[in-house]
Structure 1
Amino acid sequence: MSQLMDQDGLIMGKQEVLAGSCKTETLTADRVRNPIPDAVHALAGGFKSGRWASHIEPVPIPSKQAVIDLIEQAQRILFPGFFAGEILRPENLEYYLGQQLSLFYENLANQISSAIRHDCFRHNQACTLCNERSYELAAGLIDSLPAIRSLLESDIEATLTGDPAAANSDEVIFSYPGLFATVIYRLAHQLHQLEVPLIPRIMSEHAYHRTAIDINPEATIGSHFFIDHGSGVVIGATTTIGNRVRLYQGVTLGALSLPKDAGEKLRNLKRHPTIEDDVIIYANATILGGETVVGARSIIGGNVWLTESVGPDTRVLLEPPKLVYFGRKAGGNR
C-alpha cells in the first residue's frame, strides 16, 4: 500500500486493510442454532419433577445477604463504636443501642418468618402463625444478647491470655478471625437452640467463607474459647467443648467414617468428640468419634490422629520424625 500523507487518509487505509484481511463470514442470529428452548425445557422438567432441589414456591426464602447484614448489625450492637461511623459517648449510648436493636429486631423477625414459612411449605406442615412466632423467636435472641456478650468477653480474655501477639482487646475485636467465627457461632447457636430453621447454617457458612473456620451451630462450646490463627478448623455438630479450651489452625473435631445411609440413621446420635475443660489442641490434630473424650487439662500435640479417649492431665504427642539432610547442614562443619 502506498504511503498516505495525511492523518485521515492513514486511518482510512488501516480500516481498508483490516476489512480486506478478514475472510470470516458474519453469521446472523437466524442462521445459528438456538440452544435455549431445549435447555429451558430440560431444566424446567427437572425442577418441576422434584428430581432436583429448587425453591419454586409461593413463599419467600431467607436472603443470604440479609442474614449477612444481620451479622453486621449484631456486631455493631455487641461491640458499640467498633463497626459504625458514629462517635459514641455515655450520654448517647442507650439511644444508639435502642436504635440498632429496633432495626435488628425487625430485620431478624422478617428473615425468621421467611425461614419458618419456607420450612412449613416444604414439609407440608400446618400453619403455625409464623409471623407471630418470628417476633417471639427474634425477641428470644435479643433477650440472650447480654449473656452472649458476656461469653464473648471471656473469649476475648482467653485470646489475650493465650496469644502474646495480641496487643489489646481492640486488635482482637477488629482483626482476629477466631473471634469473628466465635461471634457468629454464639449467635447461630442461640438461634439453633430457639429452633430457627436455615438461618443458623447461613450464618456459619458466612463465617467459614470469611475465615476458613467451620463451626456447626449445633456444637456446644463453653466460655473462654480461643482459636489461634484458625484456618482449617472444623467443629462438628455434636461436639461438646468445655471451658478455657484452646485450638490451633487445622484442628478437626469430626466424625468417624460413616455408612452411605448415615444421614438418617445417625442424625440424632453423638458423632463428634467431647473436649473437657482447659484442653489445648495443637495444629492439624484430628480427633474423631462420638465416644472419644479428651480429659481435662490434657494436651494434644500437632498432627496427632486420635480416635480413642484419653484421661485427664494427659499429653498425646507424635514421636519426632527423623530429619535427613542433603548437602551441608546449616550451622555445621563447612
Structure 2
Amino acid sequence: MSRFFQEELIMGKQDVLAGSCKTETITAERVRNPIPDAVTALAEGFRSGRWASHIEPVPIPSKQAIIHLIEQAQQILFPGFFSADILRPENLDYHLGQQLSQFYEHLASQISSAIRHDCFRHNQACTLCNERSYEIAAELIDSLPAIRNLLESDIEATLTGDPAAANSDEVIFSYPGLFATLIYRLAHRLHQLGVPLIPRIMSEHAYHRTAIDINPEATIGSDFFIDHGSGVVIGSTTTIGNRVRLYQGVTLGALSLPRDAGMKLRNVKRHPTIEDDVIIYANATILGGDTVVGARSIIGGNVWLTESVGPDTRVMLEQPRLVYIGREQGGQP
C-alpha cells in the first residue's frame, strides 16, 4: 500500500469519526427531571405505612454483621479450620477467649438492635434492652458446648452415611449440609431465646450459600445428615428425630393453606414429624402437620406423601416403564 493511499485512508477515518462525534447542546430546560415527582410519591408511600420500610429512630440488625457472627462462630466451634492462626494446645485457651470476647460483644449489639427494632415495630416500650441483649448473648455462649456436641454427631452421621466422605476435615470444610446444619443449630437456639429477626437472617444466608432452607423454628435431633442438599426445605413446625438422613430436593412442608393462613395458623403445627432413623430419598415431598413418618421407615425418591406411615415401613413408587426411541431396548443406537 502506497504512503499516499495510507494518508488518505487515515484522513477519511478521522472525517467519519469527527462527523459521528458531533453533539447537540442540551439545556436543562429541555430535559424532564423525574426526580422530584418520584421522591414525593416514594416518600408518601413510605410515610403512610403502605410499604414496608425502616424509617425509625432505632437501629436495625445488620445482615453483614450477622454473616460475620456466623464466621466467628465457625472459628470458635471449629478452631484452626477457618482462620490463618496456627493453633497449639498452649495457645488454644487464649484463641478461644479472644474469639469469644469479640463474638459476645458483637452478638449482644445485634441482639439489642433486633429487640429495639421489634419493640418499635409493635409499639412496645423497650426496657433494659442492652441488659437483656447481654443476658441472651451469654445464654447462647453457655449453649456452645452442647451445640458443638450436636455438630460432632452430625459429622459422624455424615461419615457413616456417605462413603465419599474421606474424613471429618473434608466434611467440615466442604459439605453444604453441615454448614446449613451449623447455622440452623445456632439460629434455633437464638429463636428459643426469643431473639427476633436474626435467626431468619441467618437461615437466609445458609439458603443463599447452600440452597438448603431450614426454618430456625424446626426441631431437629442429633446425628442429622443432609446428603448433597440442594433444594431441601424444612418448614417451621417440622419435628425430626435422631439419626435421620435426607437427600437433595426433600420437602418437609405444609399442605395448601388458605389466603389468611398467616394469622390463623401461625402457632398451629403444619409440617410433618419424622421419627428416629428415617431415610428420605431425593425429591420426596412429605406434607401436613398430622403426617408422621414412623421410626426406621424409608421414603423413596419422588414420593408424594400426605398421610402417616407406621414404623419400619418402605414407601416406594412403582418401577416406571422406560420408553426407548430410536433404538431397541438394550441395543446400540
Q: TM-score, normalised by structure 2?
A: 0.96
Q: Name 2:217's counterpart in structure 1.
A: 218
Q: Name 1:296's counterpart in structure 2.
A: 295
Q: Name 1:206's counterpart in structure 2.
A: 205
Tell me the SS of whatever aligns to 2:252: strand
TM-superposed CA distance for 1:236, in Å, is: 0.2
Tell me the SS of whatever aligns to 2:90: helix
Tell me the SS of whatever aligns to 2:311: coil
What does the per-residue CA deviation read over 1:66-110, in whole Å, with 9 as the maximum and x for residues that have no partner?
Answer: 000000000000000000000000000000000000000000000
Distance 1:82 1:292 in 2: 40
Distance 2:188 2:288 in 1: 21
What does the per-residue CA deviation read over 1:263-305, in whole Å, with 9 as the maximum and x for residues that have no partner?
Answer: 0000000000000000000000000000000000000000000
**How many percent of aligned residue pairs carry the same amino acid?**
87
TM-superposed CA distance for 1:313, in Å, is: 0.1
Please list every run of 5 or more consecutive structure 2 residues that lacks an aligned counterpart in the other structure. none
Q: How does 1:1-334 map to 2 (within 5 A)?
A: 3=5, 5=7, 10=10, 14-21=13-20, 25-329=24-328, 331-332=330-331
Please list every run of 5 or more consecutive structure 1 residues that lacks an aligned counterpart in the other structure. none
Distance 2:332 2:52 in 1: 66
**How many equivalent pairs are there?**
330
Distance 2:155 2:132 in 1: 33
Distance 2:311 2:25 in 1: 78
- CA distance change for structure 1 residues 333 and 132 in 2, over 3 Å: closer, same or farther? closer
TM-superposed CA distance for 1:30, in Å, is: 3.7
What does the per-residue CA deviation read over 1:154-196, in whole Å, with 9 as the maximum and x for residues that have no partner?
Answer: 0000000000000000000000000000000000000000000
TM-superposed CA distance for 1:18, in Å, is: 1.6
- CA distance change for structure 1 residues 333 and 29 in 2, over 3 Å: closer, same or farther? closer
Greater alpha carbon shift after TM alignment, 169-178 vs 15-24 = 15-24
RMSD value over aligned CA atoms? 1.7
Distance 1:95 1:209 in 2: 33
Tell me the SS of whatever aligns to 2:229: coil
What does the per-residue CA deviation read over 1:119-169, in whole Å, with 9 as the maximum and x for residues that have no partner?
Answer: 011111122210000000000100000000000000000000000000000
Distance 2:151 2:288 in 1: 28
TM-superposed CA distance for 1:330, in Å, is: 6.3
Distance 2:193 2:26 in 1: 60
Task: Report the AA paired with residue 183 of structure 1.
Answer: L
Distance 1:95 1:275 in 2: 42
- CA distance change for structure 1 residues 17 and 333 in 2, over 3 Å: closer, same or farther? closer
TM-superposed CA distance for 1:31, in Å, is: 1.9
